[in-house]
Structure 1
Amino acid sequence: MITVTILGAGNVATHLYKAFTKANNVTVSQWYNRSLKPLNHYKNEVDITDDLNHLKEADVYILAVSDDAVAELSEKLPFENKIVVHTSGSVNVHDLDKKHNRGVFYPLQSFSKTAQLDFANVPICIETVNKPDYHILKALALAIGSPVKKVNSDQRQVLHLAAVFVNNFTNQLYRIGHEITESEGAEFDLLKPLILETAKKIQDLSPYKAQTGPAKRNDKKTLKKHLSILNNQDHKAIYNLLTKSIQKTHNGR
């Protein structure tokens, strides 16, 4: 049995808590947050606290907090030589206070607190300073059904950067698409099968081979017409930037 203490009450912390409570060989011994209000909903399920000095003994302490809070929180923990990990994609493992057995337990996925999530679709990227700790974190990830990948800080940081492009930036493009359809009363929902098919294609094809559209074809009339339809100057700039990027990739332009 692996005992875990979660520190933080955001999206990642909440999803990890729910996953751990369903796992057969994991126990959440305590849940900490500097404010108890977000945790009150769970107070009948798990011991909650807002006092670091009242933290219970655990095998692993997971800091699921904002990137800027990781170093300071790890320094404030009133113990040493315990496995303390953060869940960030961009924070170096050495930003954790060296009094701890430092590690990273990074779930590579987009988290929304109210959305259902199957951890079988959430790769856990693990890094440890001490080699023996890797096996404990791997067992913890496998207990919730996640695929496990051993990565170093540099690899994790570029994965996180790439994730911003394929997730956060893509979602913003969805938002722009939604604004464009709304401008003429068209239904954005009609685009959802296309969104799913685009995501499905890259399961079998590289993004390079999956690329289609007027920019790749260098269809000048269509490109010009699209720009004439766009009234928002930011949308025009994004359209031009991405068009040039696609053309440079596929046509050397």
Structure 2
Amino acid sequence: MISVVILGAGNVATHLFRGFSLAENVSVTQWYSRNLTTVEQYKNEVDITDDLSDLKVADVYIIAVSDDAVAKLSSKLEFENRMVVHTSGSVGIYDLDKKHNRGVFYPLQSFTKGAAMDFANVPICIETVDKKSYPLLKTLAKNLGSPVQKVNSDQRRVLHLAAVFVNNFTNQLYRIGHEITESEGAEFDMLKPLIVETAKKIEDLSPYRAQTGPAKRHDKKTIKKHLKQLDDNNHHKAVYELLTKSIQKTHGRKKL
């Protein structure tokens, strides 16, 4: 049985708690949050605390807080030579205080507190300073039912950067699409099968090969029509122009 203490109460921390609670060979010994009200609803399921000096002994301490707070929180932990990991895609492993046995336990997925999460669809990227610690974190991830990938800091940083493009930026494009359909009373829901099909397509094709649309075809007439439709929204128009130019550059087209 692997004992875990979770530090933090945001989206990642909450989903990890739920995932570990369902795992047969993992026990969440304690849950720390500097604001107890954020975890109070779980007080009948796990010991909660807002006092770092009161942390229990565990096999792994998982810091799941904002990137800017990782280093400071790890330095405040009063114990030494225990396994302490963070869950960030962009924070370095050496940002953790050197008094700890340091590691990274990065779930490569988008987390929202209110949404269900199947960890079978959450790759866990693992990095350790001490090679002997890797099997422990691998076993911990396997108990979540997650696929495991050993990555170094540089690989993790580019994965996180790429994730911003394919997830955060893509979701903003969904939002723009939603605004455009709403402007004329069209149903955004009609686009959902297209969104799903686009995502499914890259399971078998590279994004390069899967690209379609007027920018790739160099369909000047359609592009000009779209830009005219966007005359009343300079922000959306700028996004359209930028992405059109990007697609044309990728596929050998240089002008709108």
TM-score range, shorter chain: over 0.9
1:20-57 deviations in Å (ceiling 9; x for gaps)? 01000000000000010011100000000000000000
Alignment match, 1:69: 69
The letter for the 2-side match of 1:166 is V
The 5 A counterparts of 1:19-30 are 19-30=19-30
Query: What is aligned with 1:108?
Result: 108
Q: Which amino acid aligns with 2:117?
A: L
1:246 and 2:229 matched: no
Quote the offset at 1:120 in angstroms.
0.2
Q: 2 CA distance for matches of 1:214 and 1:204?
A: 22
What SS does the corresponding residue of 2:125 show, helix, strand or coil? Answer: strand
Instruction: Give the Å deviation of 1:251.
Output: 2.1
**Is the contact between residue 84 and residue 103 of structure 2 (CA under 8 Å) also seen in structure 1?**
yes
SS at match of 1:109: coil
> What is the match of residue 92 of structure 1?
92
The aligned amino acid for 1:243 is: T
Contact 2:218 2:253 in 1 (8 A): no
> What is the TM-score of this pair, normalised by structure 2?
0.98
- Give the alignment of 1:148-167 within 5 angstroms: 148-167=148-167
Task: Give SS of 1:205's match.
Answer: coil
Counterparts of 2:145 and 2:102 in 1: how far apart (Å)? 23
Give me the whole-angstrom Cα distance separating, in 2, the residues matched to 1:109 and 1:56.
29
Q: Which whole-Å CA distance do the structure 1 matches of 2:86 and 2:215 have between them?
A: 41
In structure 2, distance between residues paired with 1:129 and 1:93: 8
Q: Extract structure 1 runs of 4+ deviating beyond 2 A.
A: none
1:199 and 2:199 are equivalent in the alignment:
yes
Matched residues, percent identical?
Answer: 76
Distance in 2, Cα, partners of 1:111 & 1:127? 21
Structure 2 CA distance, aligned partners of 1:252 and 1:51?
59
Query: Distance in 2 between the 1:136 and 1:75 partners?
Result: 22
Q: What one-letter code is carried by the residue in structure 2 that aligns with 1:30?
A: Q
Q: Please, what is the CA RMSD of the aligned residues?
A: 0.5
TM (normalized to structure 1)? 0.99
Deviations 1:182-232 (CA, angstroms, capped at 9, x unpaired): 000000000000000000000000000000000000001100000000121
| Number of residue pairs matched by the alignment | 253
State the partner residue of 1:142.
142
Give, in angstroms, the shift of residue 252 of structure 1.
Answer: 3.9
**Cα distance per residue 1:91-129 (max 9 Å; x no partner):** 000000000000000000000000001000000000000
Three-state SS of the structure 1 residue aligned to 2:182 is: helix
Q: Which runs of 5+ in 2 are unaligned?
A: none
Q: Is the CA contact (8 Å cut-off) linking 2:105 and 2:137 kept in structure 1?
A: yes
2:102 counterpart SS class: strand
